[in-house]
Amino acid sequence: DVVIIGGGPGGYVAAIRAAQLGMKTAVVEKQHMGGICLNWGCIPTKALLRTSEIYSLMQHADSFGLSAKDIKFDIKKIVERSRGVADKLSKGISGLMKKNKVTVFDGHGRLAGKGKVAVSPPLSPPQTGGTILNAKHIILATGARARTLPGLEPDGKLVWTYREAMVPDSMPKSLLVVGSGAIGIEFASFYRALGAEVTVVEVMDRILPVEDEEISKFAHKAFEKQGMKIMTGATVKALKKNKDSVTVTLEASPPSSPPQAGGTTELTVDRVILAVGIVGNVENLGLEGTKVKVEKTHVVTDQWCATGEPGVYAIGDLTGAPWLAHKASHEGVICVEKIAGLKGVHPLKTQNIPGCTYCHPQIASVGIKEKAAKEKYKDVKVGRFQFIGNGKAIALGEPDGLVKTIFDAKTGELLGAHMIGAEVTEMTQGYAIAKTGELTEGELMHTVFPHPTLSEMMHESVLDAFGRVIHM
């Protein structure tokens, strides 16, 4: 009934849901079940960041009444642990496929005519031989890969993408991270915590440009306090590879910090990490001669994940922003439930998808930013609550952070929530539920939050928006 090309968080979740609905289902995956997210993205990077978090805490053991001397780390063991976590979960996905009676084909899948998918052996060219699968419905879930820039092509040794940054054979003493989105900032945070000299360069006028401006400014100050160097409004104009280092020429346009007034500066670092976005994996999918439309490397779909070609669908990173694993998984469920003809299926509302960045301090958000809210709704109410006013945050030794909420003053609708600080990636789901359930400030104010928890700040921020904050 259904063949899914790609076994990442979109593909394998779609497969499980399809099987639950009684459909005969197959997944074609050319590398590892779990896709980039599980093998080379979300999961292994969090394992790395957990290590750096513990290492950073140990550096300040005395502030907790503890004593720790000669604290060291072994980068190879750190990488081994990260890879072990990814491997364990990848095998777990294979187990879920067997449990749900989903057939998995190892190889490269491509459209081969109406209702047909050709599966080439994993190491063969995509058009070479293989098996033909017949299906009423075909879901493309091939994900995306790191974007590169002319003159900054990664070589796997001196210039890295996220893949090489995840498995260094030795610890670099200095790094330049090009791009300050979630991927760039997470790696900058990881390497800085382990003692590397880290410089982040961002072409936009602020880091984390998809986040609320106030949160971006807060993060900028926090990162600089940690010793990270940040250059905004700047680009890499030239890159020269040396024997075991890279010399880059950076050009800035005002406002920038540093350099100033459109000047250039030269910087030599051990390694460069490229984190300038991603592009969809649309190549070798047999889209030629079909009605599948591709725009800027991403497949165009309707609200039910259907492409222009009857019987062909697309989900996840392949279809464009937001490039998030949980978005891909949810699209997979929507897609197969619509195929199955279930009643009550709702299209995905992107404004209700939470986004998380696992740096230190963590950043999380859902909904629209303050600037956009004021432009669209005119009359808005904004609440803020600082971590310093929360007992649990102080007890944890994490007093730096902010919870910010934005409401429509007329209806009380929660428009957006933006947070920076310890464990906010775990807290943001509360606001995501509120947005999905279309709760107003009334329901949120009357919700009882447990004490002592960090989540109390979510309540206080709502109260602050309406002039009722208690602890600030």
Among all residues, which ones are annotated catalytic? 451
Do residues 231 and 201 touch, judged by C-beta distance below 8 A?
yes
DSSP character string of 280-291:
E--TTS--TTSS
Neighbour count for residue 308 (Cβ, 10 Å) = 13
Helix %, strand %, coil % for the chain, to 5? 35, 25, 40
Taking alpha carbons only, the member of 267, 262, 261 closest to residue 248 is 267
Cα R_g (the chain), whole angstroms:
24
Alpha helices in 226-358 (DSSP H): 325-339
d(CA 252, CA 201): 10
- Amino acid in the structure at residue 158: L
Q: Which amino acid is at 326?
A: H
**Cα 66-70-74 angle, rounded to 5 deg:** 115
CB of 305 closer than 8 Å to CB of 339: no
CA distances from 133 to 8, 120, 202, 288, 377 (A): 20, 11, 45, 19, 50
Question: Which residue(s) pair with 440 in the sheet?
Answer: 413
CA-to-CA distance for 428 and 430, rounded, in angstroms?
5
Q: Which value, to the nearest 10 degrees, does the dihedral of the CA atoms of residues 63, 65, 67, 68 take?
A: -50
* Exposure of 418 in the CB half-sphere (CA atoms within 13 A): 25
Rounded distance between C-alpha atoms, residue 319 and residue 242, angstroms: 38
- DSSP class per residue in 72-132: ---HHHHHHHHHHHHHHHHHHHHHHHHHTT-EEEESEEEE-STTEEEEE-TTS-TTSS-EE
Q: Are 200 and 297 in contact (CB under 8 A)?
A: no
Burial of 14 (0-12, 13-18, 19+ CB in 10 A): buried
Kindly state the tokens that stand for 155.
């070589």
End-to-end CA distance of the chain: 58
Q: Produce one character per residue of 30-63: b if its CB has 16 or more CB atoms within 10 Å, e if not.
A: bbbbbbbbbbbbbbbbbbbbbbbbebbbeeeeee
Quote the tokens at residue 432: 């995501």
